[in-house]
C-alpha cells in the first residue's frame, strides 16, 4: 500500500473533523480545476460547474442549517414541555434532566439535554440529529454521497481516457507525461474520493430506511410509527416533502412540534 494512502487513512482516523474539512474541499478543487477541464470542454464543462456549485451549496447549506437548528426539548414553549392531560403515560422520566420528556425523545450526553425524536449525535455536524433538523441531515448525506460519487466517476473517466483503469497505472503514465506533481495530485484524488464516498453512502442507506419506516438510527427496524412513505416523508421533511431537495432555505413547516406521535394502527 502506498505511503500516501497510509498517511491519509491514519489522519482520517485520528482527526475525522479536520480530515472532512480539508479532504472534501481539496477533492472538489482538484477535480474541478485539474481533471474536469481535461475530460470535458465547451458546454459540458459549463454544465459540470453548475452541477458542482448546486451540490456544494446543498452540502454546506444543509450542514449549516443542521448545526444551527435547535432540536432539544428546551426549544419548545414552556406549556409544550408538559404532557397534555391523558397522555402522561406516553411520556418518560429523564433522570439527568429530572423531568418528564415526550415520546421518542432521549438524552444526549454530548449535548447535555433531551432531544426531540432523537436520531443520533452527528460528529460532522457537531450536533444531535432530531425532529427539527432531520431533513437537513438527510439532504446533507444525500448530496455528500452524490458529490463524492461524481467526483470519483470523473476521476475514473479520466483513467479510462488515459488508457489505464488502475491508480498505479495512472501514476506511471502521468510521471512519464506530466511529472511527479500531477501524478500525486491524481492519486490523492482517488484516495480522498474512496474514503470520502464510503462513509456518507453507508449513512445515506441508513437514512433512506429511517425515512421509509419513520424509524430512528438506534431503532432502525422499529415499525411502530410507520404511517406509509408519503406521511413519513412529511413528518421528517415537512409539508413540501421531497421538494426540500432543492435548497435548505426552502420553507417546509413540520406537521407538529415533536411531542405527540401517531402510532401505526395495530393490524
Ligand atoms: Zn434528558
Ligand atoms: Zn447530541
Domain total in the chain: 2
| Ligand closest in space to the Cα of 113 | 1
The DSSP code for 265 is P
Same domain, residue pair 14 and 99: no
CA of 109 to the centre of ligand 2 (A): 7
Task: Look at residue 259 and tell me if it is in a domain.
Answer: no
Q: Is 260 helix (H, G, I), strand (E, B) or coil?
A: coil
Mean pLDDT calculated for residue range 20-26: 68
Task: Look at residue 202 and tell me if it is in a domain.
Answer: yes
Residue 224, H or E segment: none
Cα(63)–Cα(248) distance, integer angstroms:
9
Same domain, residue pair 83 and 174: no
CA of 104 to the centre of ligand 1 (A): 12
The predicted-structure confidence for 54-112, as pLDDT tens digits, reads as follows 999 999 999 999 999 999 999 999 999 999 988 889 999 999 999 999 999 999 999 99
Answer whether residue 177 shows pLDDT above 60.
no
Mean pLDDT calculated for residue range 168-175: 51
| Unique residue bearing C-alpha cell 448545526 | 67
Cα(200)–Cα(138) distance, integer angstroms:
10
pLDDT-derived band at 148, boundaries 50, 70, 90: confident
Q: Is 239 helix (H, G, I), strand (E, B) or coil?
A: coil
Which residue among 58, 90, 115 closes a domain?
A: 115
Question: What percent of the chain stands above pLDDT 70?
Answer: 76
Answer whether residue 167 shows pLDDT above 60.
no
CA of 106 to the centre of ligand 2 (A): 10
| Ligand closest in space to the Cα of 121 | 2
| Residue 79: domain span | 74-115
The DSSP code for 35 is I
CA of 105 to the centre of ligand 1 (A): 9
* 22 or 116, higher pLDDT: 116
8 A C-beta contact, residue 241 and residue 230 = yes
Same domain, residue pair 14 and 47: yes
Same domain, residue pair 98 and 137: no
Same domain, residue pair 155 and 109: no
CA of 121 to the centre of ligand 1 (A): 14
Same domain, residue pair 87 and 155: no
CA of 114 to the centre of ligand 1 (A): 4
The predicted-structure confidence for 117-137, as pLDDT tens digits, reads as follows 999 999 888 899 999 999 999
What DSSP assignment string belongs to 140-178?
A: HHHHHHHHHHHHHHHHHHHHHHTT--SHHHHHHHHHHHT
Answer whether residue 179 shows pLDDT above 60.
no
pLDDT-derived band at 146, boundaries 50, 70, 90: very high
pLDDT-derived band at 1, boundaries 50, 70, 90: very low
Question: In the chain, where do the E strands start and end?
Answer: 92-94, 99-101, 106-108, 113-115, 120-122, 127-129
CA of 129 to the centre of ligand 2 (A): 7
Same domain, residue pair 121 and 108: no
Q: Is 26 helix (H, G, I), strand (E, B) or coil?
A: helix
Q: Please choose, from the candidates 67, 4, 7, 8, the residue with its C-alpha nearest in 3D space to the C-alpha of residue 196.
A: 8
CA of 193 to the centre of ligand 2 (A): 28
Mean pLDDT calculated for residue range 155-181: 58
Cα(131)–Cα(48) distance, integer angstroms:
34
Residue 187, H or E segment: helix 180-213
CA of 65 to the centre of ligand 2 (A): 15
8 A C-beta contact, residue 255 and residue 117 = no
Same domain, residue pair 192 and 101: no
* 102 or 180, higher pLDDT: 102
8 A C-beta contact, residue 197 and residue 181 = no
Same domain, residue pair 60 and 128: yes
Same domain, residue pair 32 and 107: no
Task: Look at residue 252 and tell me if it is in a domain.
Answer: no
Q: What is the pLDDT of residue 181?
A: 53
Same domain, residue pair 143 and 103: no
* 176 or 10, higher pLDDT: 10
Amino acid at each position: 500500500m502506498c505511503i500516501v494512502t497510509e498517511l491519509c487513512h491514519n489522519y482520517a482516523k485520528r482527526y475525522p473533523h479536520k480530515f472532512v474539512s480539508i479532504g472534501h474541499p481539496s477533492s472538489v478543487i482538484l477535480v474541478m480545476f485539474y481533471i474536469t477541464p481535461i475530460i470535458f470542454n465547451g458546454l459540458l464543462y459549463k454544465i459540470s460547474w453548475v452541477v458542482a456549485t448546486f451540490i456544494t451549496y446543498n452540502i454546506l447549506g444543509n450542514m449549516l442549517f443542521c448545526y444551527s437548528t435547535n432540536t432539544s426539548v428546551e426549544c419548545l414553549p414552556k406549556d409544550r414541555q408538559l404532557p397534555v392531560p391523558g397522555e402522561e403515560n406516553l411520556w418518560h422520566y429523564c433522570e439527568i434532566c429530572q423531568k418528564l420528556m415526550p415520546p421518542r425523545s432521549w438524552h444526549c450526553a454530548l449535548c447535555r439535554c433531551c432531544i426531540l425524536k432523537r436520531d443520533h449525535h452527528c460528529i460532522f455536524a457537531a450536533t444531535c440529529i432530531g425532529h427539527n433538523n432531520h431533513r437537513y441531515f438527510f439532504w446533507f448525506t444525500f448530496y455528500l454521497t452524490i458529490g463524492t460519487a461524481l467526483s470519483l466517476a470523473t476521476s475514473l473517466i479520466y483513467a479510462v481516457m488515459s488508457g489505464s483503469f488502475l491508480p498505479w497505472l495512472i501514476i506511471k503514465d502521468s510521471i512519464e507525461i506530466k511529472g511527479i506533481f500531477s501524478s500525486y495530485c491524481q492519486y490523492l484524488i482517488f484516495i480522498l474520493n474512496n474514503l470520502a464516498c464510503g462513509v456518507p453512502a453507508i449513512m445515506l442507506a441508513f437514512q433512506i430506511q429511517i425515512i421509509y419506516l419513520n424509524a430512528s438510527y438506534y431503532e432502525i427496524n422499529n415499525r411502530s410509527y410507520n404511517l406509509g412513505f408519503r406521511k413519513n416523508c412529511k413528518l421528517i421533511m415537512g409539508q413540501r416533502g421531497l421538494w426540500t431537495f432543492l435548497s435548505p432555505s426552502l420553507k417546509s413547516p413540520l406537521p407538529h412540534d415533536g411531542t405527540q406521535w401517531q402510532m401505526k394502527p395495530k393490524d
